[in-house]
Amino acid sequence: MLFPTTIAGSLPKPEWLAEPNRLWAPWKPAGDELVSAKRDATLLALKLQETAGIDIVTEGEQARQHFVHGFLENVAGIDFAHKVEMGIRADRYKAMVPQVVAPLTLKDRVHAFEARAARAHTTHQLKFTLPGPMTIVDTVADSHYGDRVKMAFAFAELLNQEARALEADGVDVIQFDEPAFNVYMGEVKTWGIEALQRAAEGLSCTTAVHICYGYGIKANTDWKATLGGEWRQYEDIFPAIAQSTIQQVAIECRNSRVPLDLLALLPGKTVQAGVIDVASDIVETPEDVADTIAAVMKFVPRDRIIATTNCGMAPMRRDIAEAKLKALGAGAKLARDRFDDPEAPW
């Protein structure tokens, strides 16, 4: 089937699970009640995607507070009690971040609970997201390794352990989120991709990397305004990603200033094309979605296009996120109707 659909990863959390419309939203329930609320929210996230016609579903990241810290919480060797201020994403944000103070090891499985809950309740293909090693080391302070690259490979080893276990849980696609990849282009080529491949080593399920210009929060939209009329960061790194073992590349295409011709630098990769803008509350029409798919088709063979959201929808309003999911499903179907004739002169 042409243009299967998926989402970047996260969906907004129900208001009974966490405070709505914000990142880092504190949990509302506690203890056992929190555990069952996370599970219920996971099942709800699956249902909403299935109803909307999403083919490759996720657990909506309902069981983690943040896409990086959800992983770090289960890593030993990190001191969360003494956070320090650090400029992250090349100083775009100042954040209070935990410190690595000892050799890193996994305390236990990180995402077994929600991955297994999701697997038990959907027959669709299941995608699971993990933060990439470069993005992790850009989000914690190093007081132990004394070397960013060494620390990245230590995290890559832990990510690999969890990724292999997720695969054993029945996950079909593992996606590493690397928003740091369009910030540190030089380092992506010298060690970022290598660390990512270490994280994905030995997996037989599908592997993907999501690179992006971030959630639709103010710090990101302000930063994007400084990037000029065309965002050509990917020109620098796509040739290196094309050489990597990672099979799919997810990038934003809807309302993005990334020139879509850069996608031609990813021969052989499946492109998860973002056709839903998460930085705008304006809900796309199915025609908008089909038109974005058509634009991507100029540079990516149609059988290598997956339709997705530009980024996670965690901080969005639930009703808007739901409407956007429906537009994604309906738009991909429309594109299938339009473009399923391989002889057509598109």
Footprint on this chain of Zn ion (rule: CB under 5 A): 212, 311
Nearest Cα to Cα of residue 137 among 74, 82, 181: 181
What one-letter code names the amino acid at 287?
E
Between the alpha carbon of residue 64 and those of residues 23, 86, 331, the distances in Å are 11, 22, 29
Which of residues 104 and 313 has its CB atom nearest to Zn ion in the complex? 313
**What are the helix (H) ranges across the chain?**
31-52, 69-72, 112-121, 133-137, 148-168, 185-187, 193-200, 218-224, 233-242, 286-297, 318-339
Pick 195 or 311: Cβ nearer Zn ion: 311
Nearest approach, Cβ of residue 311 and Zn ion (Å): 3
3-class DSSP state for residue 306? strand
Per-residue buried b or exposed e for 108-117, using 16+ beta carbons within 10 Å of the residue's own CB: eebbebbbbb
Phi, psi of 44 (to 5 degrees): -65, -40
* Shortest CB 120 distance to Zn ion, Å: 27
CB of 89 to Zn ion, least distance (A): 12
Reduce the DSSP state of residue 223 to 3 states and report it: helix
Of residues 1, 4, 8, the one with CA closest to residue 254 = 8
d(CA 52, CA 321): 11
Minimal distance, residue 274 CB to Zn ion, in Å:
8
Alpha-carbon distance 293 to 279, whole Å?
19
> Distance between CA 57 and CA 50 in Å, rounded?
8
Residue 19 Cα to chain centre, angstroms: 21
State the pairing for strand pair 125-131/173-177: parallel
Give the nearer residue to Zn ion in terms of CB position, either 99 or 220.
220
Q: Which is nearer to Zn ion, 249 or 311 (CB)?
A: 311
Residue number, 169 or 178, with CB nearest to Zn ion: 178
Sequence-distant (≥ 6) Cβ neighbours of residue 100 within 8 angstroms: 77, 78, 79, 140, 141, 142, 143, 144, 145, 151
The residue (of 9 and 77) whose beta carbon lies closer to Zn ion is 9
Whichever of 72 and 279 has its CB closer to Zn ion, that residue is: 279
Q: Considering the complex, what minimum distance in angstroms separates the CB of residue 28 from Zn ion?
A: 25
Minimum Å distance from CB 198 to Zn ion? 21
CB of residue 281 vs Zn ion: minimum separation in angstroms? 17
- Residue 39 or 89 having the CB closest to Zn ion: 89
CB of 76 to Zn ion, least distance (A): 28
